[in-house]
Amino acid sequence: MIVCVNDLVEMKVEKNGIGVRFGKSHAYPGDMYECPKCHNRIIVTEHPAVYDPKNEINTIQMPEEED
């Protein structure tokens, strides 16, 4: 169960099979959840990274870290 700590309600699945990409070639597959009250969204990635240099997995891109 995924719970919104602001509203104390169970978050609902908004989209399955979306990943988070760090860098250019690896993505972490997961699912996107949304709070039905405040509409805050999160992506839960519980799978190991997948090599995806051709961007075949639907992902969001994390920004590059600044030094």
Report yes or no: 46 and 28 within 8 Å, Cβ to Cβ: no
d(C-alpha 23, C-alpha 52), whole Å: 11
Domain locations in the chain? 3-56
pLDDT exceeds 90 at position 63: no
Average pLDDT over residues 39-57: 91
Confidence (pLDDT) at 53: 87
Report yes or no: 27 and 60 within 8 Å, Cβ to Cβ: no
Report yes or no: 32 and 42 within 8 Å, Cβ to Cβ: yes
Band of the pLDDT at 67, cuts 50, 70, 90?
A: low
Confidence (pLDDT) at 23: 83
Q: What is the DSSP letter of 11?
A: -
Report yes or no: 67 and 27 within 8 Å, Cβ to Cβ: no
Average pLDDT over residues 28-45: 96
